[in-house]
Each structure stands twice: as structure tokens, then as C-alpha cells.
Amino acid sequence: MKKCDAEKVRIADYNYTLPQEKIAKYPLPKRDASKLLLFCNNQISTLAFSSIAEEIPEGSLMIFNDTRVIHARLIFEKGSGALIEVFCLSPHSPRDYSENFQQRRGCSWHCMIGNAKRWKDEVLQMRIVMEGSELLLSARKIAKNGNDTVVEFSWDRPEVTFSELLEVAGKLPIPPYLNRNSEASDDETYQTVYSEVEGSVAAPTAGLHFTPEVMASLEKRGIRIARVTLHVGAGTFKPVKSETIGDHDMHTEFISVSRETVQALYENRNKLIVVGTTSMRTVESLYYLGKRVLLHPDIKPDELLVSQWEPYEEETPVSPQLALKAIIDYLDRNSADQLIAHTQVMIVPGYRFHYPQAIVTNFHQPQSTLLLLIAACIGERWRDLYQYALQNNYRFLSYGDSSLLWLTASH
């Protein structure tokens, strides 16, 4: 598919009516009790999510996103009583997530500011009690570009890391379409059971259905599991306001993939199933990153970015396996065990997939980039699936039910 054709995709063609009562505001008491819509051999059926392992061929490889949602919303109160929300989106300095979280005196983040007009140039402060002792957290604006504000944080207890500070002082950012405040229960239910690497401001919600029992059933069936990390940004909720997708700016997200996972993908000769749109975007980004390091063996790590329209620009193709081998060789040359990169990849109908044969995913908002990705996977049948789900009392969006979709798009 050419770039000019991809840019002409009309977002209005990916709309459906989603009644408010179909949006799940809370999860089910048991994660794997949710429904599973199965789309296989062009047929639609309903199963229990707890039985998903039976639908995955033995020897398959499944990819999970192990990102963990952080308490990214910091609420400061000014002397006047005005509340200012500082929503931490991604690290500014240090830029590396893990390094930033381990800072003990100060750090800076790219932030989105709520009630921004009430915050001039003064330093905001918040007193926090941690382990019986008081801590003073300060926030100062140091740069602004549109809706992106760089905020410098500092605190007066150097034994406390920024990660520990956020956990106590911040609030979990649940999706805006839930139309409610976060609750204590969300701290557990809005994390996957395998979440590990801090950095997301939204959960990879396809993984919320998995329980230790389901994971054990996959292992018992001989299904291999590998992990990637994509830190989900707030841009995942950004509505598409343009008539065509060509005028929509896709957000940039951090990805990290271990050499072990790349090797597993390289050696895999069976079915590949990705859990969630974030895992799909990460795995597919590997193809373009592999091409990049194949053509530019000495490329610097900070130049490893998949741009929004890169998949649709005419270039000489390479085999998917060769792209993975190029990454392995690149990591070996640099004595690295992790590929760190960023991706803006936009997957729209007409996209040619390189690796996965199936995706586990929830039901997405109308006219969203996530729904475009699903339509890229299964074509126009997405309408039938969503109509079926609406008619059969499926629960929608982040805390809703799940689906296992076998791709009909060509590889």
C-alpha cells in the first residue's frame, strides 16, 4: 500500500454506535471470566476467556507487553485553592525511563497540564508523608511547546527515588471514557498480572484478562511466551479529528525488546499470536528497525525510530527473517541485550503484516487508530464482529471483554 493511499483513509468509514451502557466502567470480579469472541476461518463464535489456551495451536509463540502503569497524575493545590494537575507523559531528563525513575533529588518530564491557565511561573509544591516522614515535592515549568510542558521536579529527601515518590503522591490515570475517578481497586485491576517495567500512562488492556491459571494453561499446552515492552502514552486516547488519517499525528512511544525475544521471533516457525495492539505495533516495528540497522550498521541508538508513514514509503523490501537477524547482529556488535527504540507506526487498512497470525484484543472506540489497526487485521469483517458483540451483550473498551482474531490480511 502506497503512502498516498494510506493517507486517504477516511476515519468516518470506521465508525459505529457505542451506547454508554456497553462501556464497562469496572472489570469483572474474576479476570478470566470475561467473554472471548473468536474469529477463525471467517466464522464468529463466543467462548469463555479462561479457555483461550485451547484455541492456540500447540507450539505457538505468544507475545505479551510487560509494561506497568505508573501513578502519572500529580495534583498540586495552590495557595488560592486552585488545583493544578501535572500529568507525567514521558521522561525528559534523564530520558531513559529506568534511569529517570531511580533519580533521588530531581528529574524532568514531558507533561500535560490540567487547569494550565491558573499556573503562571510560580513553583508548585506538595507535602507528602512517606513512611512517617514528610517530603516536599516541587514542580517548576522549564519549557513549553503547544500542549507539551517540560516540568522539573525536585524533592528534599534524597533517599527517595522518583518511582517511590510517584507511587505515593500520584494517582493512577484510568481512561477518560470511564467518566469516573480512579479508585483503590484500580491499582490492582488496571495492571496486568505480568506487568513489570514501569512507564505506561495507560494499561495494555488486552492483557487484563490473563490470570496465573490461564498463563499456566498456555504453558501446559506447549505454547511459548515472550515479552516486549511498549510504554503506552496518553496519545492512545487522542481522538482523530481530521477527515482523513493523513492529517492525524501519531504519538511516539518507547519500546524495548530483549535479544532473547528477537531470537525467539527469529527461530519461530509456528503461529505467532500478539496480545494487544501495543504488542502488535512493537513486533511490526521490529521489521522496519531491522531494515534500518541492515542498511546502516553503525546507526546510533537515539536514531532508532519508526516514523508514522514508513511502512507505506516505497523502499526495497527485505525478508522478515533477515530484518530480525539484522537486529540480533546489531545487538551483538554493540554488546547489548536490549533493543531500545521509539515507534510512531500507523497501521491502517491495507497494511501488510510481517509476523503475527493472530491478535488478542479488546473492543475499541469508534473512529480510533486502534480500530483502524483491527480493520487492517481482518478487513471489513470488523463491522460484523462489532455488531455481533453489541447484539450479544459484550462489554466494551478497557475493562470490557476480549477477542481472539485470526488475521485475514496477507503476509
What is the rounded distance in angstroms from the CA atom of residue 318 to the CA atom of residue 293? 12
Of 6-10, 15-19, 153-157, the one with minimum mean pLDDT is 6-10
Q: Which domain holds residue 7?
A: 3-68+188-406
Q: Which ranges of 309-403 would DSSP assign to H, the alpha helix?
A: 320-333, 369-378, 381-391
- How large a percentage of the chain has pLDDT more than 70? 99
In a domain, 166, yes or no: yes
Same domain? For 273 and 201 the reply is yes
Say if residue 162's pLDDT is above 70: yes
Say if residue 233's pLDDT is above 90: no
Of 85-89, 198-202, 405-409, the one with minimum mean pLDDT is 405-409
What is the rounded distance in angstroms from the CA atom of residue 102 to the CA atom of residue 30? 34
Neighbouring-strand partners of residue 253: 343
pLDDT at position 329: 97
Say if residue 411's pLDDT is above 60: no
Mean pLDDT along residues 4-31: 95
In a domain, 180, yes or no: no
What is the rounded distance in angstroms from the CA atom of residue 104 to the CA atom of residue 11? 45
What is the rounded distance in angstroms from the CA atom of residue 3 to the CA atom of residue 380? 20
Same domain? For 161 and 117 the reply is yes
pLDDT at position 238: 73
Same domain? For 339 and 275 the reply is yes
In a domain, 56, yes or no: yes
Q: Report pLDDT digits (tens) over 102-112.
A: 999 999 999 99
Pairing type for strands 272-275 and 305-306 reads unpaired
Neighbouring-strand partners of residue 139: 124, 153
Tell whether omega for the bond before 94 is within 30 degrees of 0, i.e. cis: yes
- Domain end position, chosen among 116, 144, 171: 171
In a domain, 181, yes or no: no
Same domain? For 226 and 321 the reply is yes
pLDDT tier for residue 239 given thresholds of 50, 70 and 90: confident
Neighbouring-strand partners of residue 38: 45, 404
Give the chain's domain count: 2
What is the rounded distance in angstroms from the CA atom of residue 311 to the CA atom of residue 269? 24
What is the rounded distance in angstroms from the CA atom of residue 286 to the CA atom of residue 313? 16
Neighbouring-strand partners of residue 150: 110, 143
**For the domain that residue 46 is a member of, what is the CATH number?**
3.40.1780.10
Same domain? For 364 and 248 the reply is yes
Same domain? For 164 and 220 the reply is no
pLDDT at position 140: 97
Query: For residue 255, which of 291, 280, 218 has the smallest C-alpha distance?
Result: 280
- Domain end position, chosen among 171, 197, 223: 171
Taking the CA atoms of residue 193, residue 354, residue 254 and residue 75 in that order, the dihedral angle to the nearest 10 degrees is: -60
pLDDT tier for residue 175 given thresholds of 50, 70 and 90: very high
Same domain? For 256 and 290 the reply is yes
Residue with cell 541492515: 294
Say if residue 203's pLDDT is above 70: yes
What is the rounded distance in angstroms from the CA atom of residue 52 to the CA atom of residue 32? 9
Say if residue 275's pLDDT is above 90: yes
Say if residue 310's pLDDT is above 70: yes
Same domain? For 142 and 263 the reply is no
- How large a percentage of the chain has pLDDT more than 90? 90
What is the rounded distance in angstroms from the CA atom of residue 347 to the CA atom of residue 324? 20
Say if residue 410's pLDDT is above 70: no
Are 120 and 126 contacting, i.e. CB atoms less than 8 angstroms apart?
A: no
For 46, phi then psi, to 5°, come to -115, 130
Question: Three cell numbers at 192?
Answer: 496486568
What is the rounded distance in angstroms from the CA atom of residue 163 to the CA atom of residue 113? 20
Mean pLDDT along residues 250-258: 93
Same domain? For 82 and 33 the reply is no
Same domain? For 63 and 198 the reply is yes
Q: Is 236 exposed, middle or buried (0-12, 13-18, 19+ CB in 10 A)?
A: buried
Are 161 and 167 contacting, i.e. CB atoms less than 8 angstroms apart?
A: no
In a domain, 176, yes or no: no
pLDDT tier for residue 409 given thresholds of 50, 70 and 90: low
Q: Is 180 exposed, middle or buried (0-12, 13-18, 19+ CB in 10 A)?
A: exposed
Say if residue 38's pLDDT is above 80: yes
Please provide the average confidence, as pLDDT, over all residues in the chain.
Answer: 95
Same domain? For 110 and 14 the reply is no
Query: For residue 406, which of 249, 217, 272 has the smallest C-alpha distance?
Result: 272
pLDDT tier for residue 199 given thresholds of 50, 70 and 90: very high
Are 170 and 73 contacting, i.e. CB atoms less than 8 angstroms apart?
A: yes
Of 28-32, 74-78, 146-150, 275-279, the one with minimum mean pLDDT is 146-150
